[in-house]
Every structure is written in C-alpha cells, then in structure tokens.
Amino acid sequence: MHLLLLDFHLPMKLLGFFLACWPFLLHAQADTTQYPFVAYWSVGDTYNFEVAKIKLDYRNDTLTKADTMRYRSTFEVLEENDSSYLIRYYFGTDMEMTQVIPPPITEMLSAYDLSSITYRTNEVGAFQRLENWETFADAMQATFDAMTADALKSPGMDSALFRSIMDPLAATYTTEAGILNKLVDELQHLHFFYGYSYGRYDTLRYSNHFQNMYGGPPFPVQSTLLVEEADWSEDYVVMRHYNQVTPEANDIFIQSMRLAYPALVEKDPDGFDQLSYDVYDDNWYAFYYNPGIPIKIENDRWITVVAEGSKNVKQERLIVTWVD
C-alpha cells in the first residue's frame, strides 16, 4: 500500500498490533484476505461527516414520540506519535433538530464551549479516553439543575421524590462514560474495529457486556460480528455487528433500579419486581480500513421495558455518513 512507504512511524506503531496477532499470523502468514484495521492518520488530516440521531418511543406498538437531530461534524488529527493520536471532533451547525430546547437553557449553555470534544486513541486508532469531557458534564449538570428548579415550581410537587428520580438520571450524563455513551456515542462506532484483523467471511460469536449506567454490574451480552463484504484491492470492508443482552440482564436491571431509586421502593416495595428488560443492537459499517475512514455507519438499538402490562420500546438510530 502506498501509505506504508510514506509513514516512517509505521514499524513502531504496528509493533504492538503484530505482537497481539502473532499466533494468528503464524497460522495464516500468506492469507491476503485478512483486513487489518490500523489507523494511518497524520497531523492535519480532516474528515467531514453528516450525523443523524433519531429517537422513537413506542407504547404498545404505537408511536408516542419522535425526535431527530442532524448536524455536520469534523474529525481532525491534532497530534500523532508512536503510542497515540490526539483527535478533535467538531460539532457543526445543526441541520435539523425537532426537539425544542427552552430559550433559558439555550442561553445558559452558551456559557460553555461545546463546539468540540477532544479525545485520544492508541497507536492503531482504538479509542482510549475523552480529554475535555468535564466541560460537557458541567453543562449537563447545569441543564438538569435548571430543569429541576423549573419543575419544582409546580404546585403540589413532591420535591424529595422528584429529586430522587432526577439525581440518578443526571448522574448517568455527568461522567466520562455518560458523555461518551449518551452525547458523542458515534465516537465509539468510529473506532470500534481498530486494532484487530478480520478475515473474509469471518463470523465471530463472543460474550460481551454493556456498561450499567446506574452503577450496578454490567449487563451480559451475546455478540455476533461478521464480514459481509470485502475488497482487498480497494481497502474496503462492510461489517455487521449484533448485540443481544442475555436473560440475566433482566435481574441486574431490576436490582439496579431498586438501588438507584430507593424513594420509589419505599413507596412501592414490589414496584420494580415485575419489570422486563431487553436490549438488541443491529449495527452496519462500511469502512475504508486504510487509511481508516468510515464511509457510512448505521446503528439501530431497541430498548424494551415491560411494566404493568405496558410495552415501552425506545429505538435509537444513528447514521454517520462521510461527506469529504
């Protein structure tokens, strides 16, 4: 590949990757159908995307709420060395937003610099950590505080009960994991495959887990990853990734709810016991794995909670399209 000759950092950058894959490489040294996801970025590289986030709520199979947000984003490489990349991810002007944000909250948020978020990957492009997530966490906490203060103005509002419900919810949005999972979730998908090599027509089944945003044990998951299409000559691959929580996740969810909302348990000790919880993902990815550009990502997640005979489904759809 032509970029291999131009990047003098490549030997050091790939050393860890090849060591990790060494047993596999011994088994298939001449297998040219392997597709290694290794980032070949340089300082100053920029890629522009259109991002769509669609959230649909259903109750008993009837659509009750639909929110859409579309915006332009820019991925820019700020630093590169033998062990990591530093990336700045800019949020462009909203192209569409159906959810109405009250003007006082919009004005309050203008005091925070939320135009971009900076994060670091390892030398092969796998996500490591957010760098300036605290600014976003502060903005989210201020938003929840403003919403709480406004709601408590309502006559007859049980302030202690309301706070007991809002505080755990706010906590899920004001940690690094919360910012990554809830606000900039596309970053996880942009970097999901880096650091591994995939074979033509591979189908991998493995045990996984979802982080429990309420602080309890993680939710066990069964995952399937497969290569749907690949073209070695074009450095192009299409991947499919499915996730399904296991039945054990239901008990973990109930216990997590009981621990997160003790005031509700006090009012109704058995209120959470009949909950049913399920999460299923269907994720589709088209990538140029060299130099490391997602062409299009389409992710669908269905979260289903059954309570008191009511089936509540939230569909979260993420679409990321490379523009230039």
State pTM to two decimals. Answer: 0.82
Q: How confident is the model at residue 27 (pLDDT cuts 50, 70, 90)?
A: very low
- Interior CA angle at 244 toward 240 and 248, to 5°? 160
Cβ-contact 242, 282 below 8 angstroms: yes
Closest to 305 in 3D by CA, of 282, 279, 273, 285: 279
Q: How confident is the model at residue 96 (pLDDT cuts 50, 70, 90)?
A: low
Give residue 11's Cα distance to chain centre: 31
DSSP string, 174-212: SSHHHIIIIISTHHHHHTTTTT-EEETT-EEEEEEEE--
213-269 pLDDT per residue, tens:
777 899 999 999 999 998 888 889 999 999 999 999 999 999 988 888 887 888 888
Q: How confident is the model at residue 107 (pLDDT cuts 50, 70, 90)?
A: confident
First-to-final CA distance of the chain: 21
CA atoms within a 13 Å half-sphere pointing along the CA-CB vector of 16 = 13
Q: How confident is the model at residue 95 (pLDDT cuts 50, 70, 90)?
A: low
- Choice among 44-48, 90-94, 302-306 with the minimum mean pLDDT: 90-94
Rg (CA), the chain: 22
Q: What is the CATH number of the domain that holds 247?
A: 2.30.230
Q: How confident is the model at residue 108 (pLDDT cuts 50, 70, 90)?
A: confident
Q: Cα(211)–Cα(179) distance, rounded to whole angstroms?
A: 13
Per-residue confidence (pLDDT) for residue 265, from 0 to 100? 83
Give residue 210's Cα distance to chain centre: 11
H or E stretch at 252 = helix 248-260
Distances (CA, A) of 51 to 72, 107, 139, 248, 320: 6, 24, 22, 34, 5
Provide the β-strand partners of residue 47.
75
Q: Cα(59)–Cα(61) distance, rounded to whole angstroms?
A: 5
Closest to 41 in 3D by CA, of 77, 11, 1: 77
- Residue numbers of the domain that contains 166: 2-322
Per-residue confidence (pLDDT) for residue 32, from 0 to 100? 53
- Interior CA angle at 41 toward 181 and 137, to 5°? 25
Predicted confidence (pLDDT) at residue 31 exceeds the cutoff of 50: no
Distances (CA, A) of 20 to 13, 37, 152, 197, 305: 13, 13, 55, 10, 40
- Mean pLDDT across the stretch 201-208? 91
Per-residue confidence (pLDDT) for residue 12, from 0 to 100? 42
What's the total number of domains in the chain? 1
137-172 pLDDT per residue, tens:
999 898 888 888 888 888 878 888 788 778 888 888
* Peptide bond connecting 269 to the previous residue in cis, omega within 30 degrees of 0: no
Instruction: Check residues 284 and 159 and name the one with the higher pLDDT.
Output: 284
- Mean pLDDT across the stretch 5-33? 41
Instruction: Check residues 170 and 82 and name the one with the higher pLDDT.
Output: 82
Other CB atoms within a 10 A radius of the CB of residue 237 amount to: 23
Closest to 56 in 3D by CA, of 321, 318, 322, 323: 318
- 267: amino acid identity, one letter: K
- Choice among 15-29, 117-131, 235-249, 296-310 with the minimum mean pLDDT: 15-29
